């Protein structure tokens, strides 16, 4: 019944939603891309925003800053998000796409919920454990992530957000305009395809001798392999107990090996819409996790948790993976 009510209300509001999509698309292509502001940062942001307005995953900061981002700001947030929020509130519907932590196995439609939950739990585990908890929290490729603004008040955590200058400055302006306190966050500018992010962190007050959690979400697939290896080697230099949460596409998806030929082409085409390119994927090996475990041997890091979208029983095997990796 709730699903039916949601559908009815959404159909009534559909013209507003479609106009919002058109305006969002125009802003990505005419504002974000020309200014080198990350377009792909809007996808996970939009997923978390949708879960928030559905009431399945609270993220007030995401909702607040949306109104001041070039992609979602002002009328776009109203047309895309507030119309859906009205339909959800009136109907009480959340559905699998808007649920959290979402169904398992997850699908292409619910993978953002699965991804958000995996990293939420990964962060919480390392920051709140009794023995050797992390006292530094680094978000590599921070984009519009808001986890630094929703930490437990009793935690003494030093936060760093690292990203390219155009995206980072856009986010800082949105936080300021929305009145979100951010004095506890140090913003660090860098380029992930160059060996500069650790140096930039050190110059910004990062202490390499403290146990650290690094969130590396939605980044590896856009880097060259050398940059991914260098990053893991740098993370391996941190103290025992440090950890990184990272996600990966499969190598077969990136290069378009069977049975991913059509799906790979569609994915590459979709990413080019944001003027970005998919470059790196993890070989899956004999088991889905063995390729990543082999990749990590060079750095000496240990894969301690591994999940994937989809099921091994599908005709198209899992292609998207979430990992919790530790320095032991």
> How does pLDDT run across 212-257, given as a tens digit for each residue?
999 999 999 999 999 999 999 999 999 999 999 999 999 999 999 9
Query: Domains of the chain, with CATH numbers?
Result: 2-95 (no CATH), 112-326 (3.40.50.150)
CB distance 132 to 153 below 8 Å? no
Q: Quote the pLDDT of residue 93.
A: 78
CA distance 240 to 208: 11
Q: What does the pLDDT average to over 269-278?
A: 91
Output the six-digit token pair for 228: 């991914």
Q: Quote the pLDDT of residue 295.
A: 96
Q: Quote the pLDDT of residue 81.
A: 87
Q: Quote the pLDDT of residue 144.
A: 97
Q: Which residue has the tokens 């619910």?
A: 110
Q: What does the pLDDT average to over 22-51?
A: 93
Bridge partner list, 187: 161
Q: Quote the pLDDT of residue 13.
A: 82
Q: Quote the pLDDT of residue 192.
A: 63
Q: Quote the pLDDT of residue 94.
A: 75
Q: Quote the pLDDT of residue 2.
A: 76
**pLDDT of residue 194 exceeding 80:** no
Can you give the pTM of this predicted structure? 0.94
Kindly tell me the burial class for residue 105, based on how many C-beta atoms sit within 10 Å of its own C-beta (0-12, 13-18, 19 or more). Answer: middle
Q: What does the pLDDT average to over 188-209?
A: 86
Output the six-digit token pair for 281: 């994927």
**pLDDT of residue 193 exceeding 80:** no
Query: Which of 64, 87, 89, 92 lies closest to 77, judged by CA?
Result: 64
Q: What does the pLDDT average to over 93-103?
A: 85
3-21 pLDDT per residue, tens = 778 778 778 888 888 999 9
Q: Between residues 66 and 196, which one has the greater pLDDT?
A: 66
Q: Quote the pLDDT of residue 276.
A: 92
Q: What is the 3-state secondary structure (H, E, C) of 7-65?
A: HHHHHHHHHHHHHHHHHHHHHHHHHHCCCCCCCCCHHHHHHHHHHHHHCCCCCHHHHHH
Q: Which residue has the tokens 């440090």?
A: 242
Whole-number average pLDDT of the chain: 92
What dihedral angle (degrees, nearest 10) is formed by the CA atoms of 224, 229, 234, 235?
Answer: 100
């Amino acid at each position: 019944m709730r699903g039916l009510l949601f559908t009815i209300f959404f159909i009534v509001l559909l013209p507003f939603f479609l106009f919002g999509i058109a305006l969002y698309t125009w802003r990505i292509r005419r504002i974000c891309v020309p200014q080198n502001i990350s377009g792909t940062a809007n996808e996970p942001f939009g997923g978390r925003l949708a879960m928030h307005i559905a009431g399945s995953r609270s993220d007030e900061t995401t909702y607040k800053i949306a109104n001041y981002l070039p992609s979602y700001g002002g009328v776009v947030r109203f047309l895309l998000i507030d119309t859906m929020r009205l339909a959800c509130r009136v109907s009480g519907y959340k559905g699998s796409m808007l649920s959290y932590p979402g169904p398992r196995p997850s699908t292409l439609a619910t993978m953002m919920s699965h991804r958000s939950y995996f990293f939420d739990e990964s962060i919480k585990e390392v920051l709140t454990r009794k023995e050797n908890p992390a006292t530094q929290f680094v978000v590599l490729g921070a984009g519009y992530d808001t986890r630094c603004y929703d930490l437990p008040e009793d935690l003494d955590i030093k936060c760093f957000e690292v990203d390219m200058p155009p995206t980072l400055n856009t986010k800082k302006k949105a936080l300021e305009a929305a009145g979100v306190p951010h004095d506890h966050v140090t913003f660090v500018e860098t380029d992930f395809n160059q060996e500069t992010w650790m140096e930039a962190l050190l110059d910004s007050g990062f202490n390499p001798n403290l146990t650290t959690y690094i969130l590396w979400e939605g980044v590896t697939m856009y880097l060259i392999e050398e940059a991914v290896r260098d990053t893991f080697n740098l993370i391996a230099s941190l103290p025992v107990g440090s950890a990184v949460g990272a996600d990966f596409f499969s190598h077969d998806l990136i290069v378009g090996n069977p049975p991913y030929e059509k799906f790979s082409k569609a994915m590459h085409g979709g990413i080019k819409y944001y003027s970005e390119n998919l470059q790196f994927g993890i070989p899956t090996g004999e088991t889905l996790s063995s390729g990543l475990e082999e990749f990590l041997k060079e750095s000496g890091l240990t894969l301690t948790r591994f999940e994937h979208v989809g099921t091994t029983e599908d005709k198209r095997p899992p292609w998207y993976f979430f990992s919790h990796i530790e320095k032991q």
